[in-house]
Amino acid sequence: MSTASTMTIDELIEEFDDLGDWADQCEVLIDMGRELPPMDESLKTERTKVHGCQSNVWMVAALSDDARPVLELIADSDAMIVKGLLSVILLAYSGRTPQEILDVDIEGIFRRLGLDRHLSTARRNGLAGMVKRVRQIAAEAAAA
C-alpha cells in the first residue's frame, strides 16, 4: 500500500476494489487518518470549523500564487475515521485549481469507494459538510 501522502485517488479506489471487505477498507481509512499531518492548533478556530459533523473538523485552504493557482488544503479532526475521510477529500481536491475542484465528481468517487453504502447517515452528512466547505472555498477562489 502506498502512503496517503503519495497515493492518488485512483490508487485508493484500486486498493479498495482489491480489498473488497468493508472492515479492511475501514482499516485503510484509519491508517490514512493516522498519516494525516497535524494541523497547527492556532488554525483550529470557530471560523475554520466545519459545521454539520458529529466530530470536530477544521479545514483551511490557501490559493498558491503560481501561474496556475491551486488550492492547498489543510484539515484535521478529533476522530480517526473522520481523519481518514479527510485524507480522501484531500486526495481528491488538494493541489487542484478552483475550477478543477468544482468539476470533480466527488459523489462518483465516494460511490466507487463504497462510502455511500458503508457510512452511517451521520458520517455521510458530515462528509457532505466537508465537501460543501471545500466547494465553497473553491467557488470563492474561482470568483476572485
Q: Which residues have a catalytic role annotated?
A: 53
Instruction: Please enumerate in sequence order all residues whose Cβ is within 8 A of that of 23, keeping only pairs 6 or more positions apart, or say none.
Output: none
Side chain identity at residue 90, one-letter code: L
**Range list of β-strands (E), the chain:** 57-63, 71-77
Which grid coordinates are listed for 81? Answer: 475515521
Question: Amino acid letter at 94?
Answer: S
C-alpha cell belonging to residue 14:
484500486
* Nearest in space to 30 (alpha carbons), one of 75, 69, 77, 84: 84
**CA-CA distance, 85 to 70, in Å (whole number)?**
21
Helix/strand number for the chain, H first, E second: 7, 2
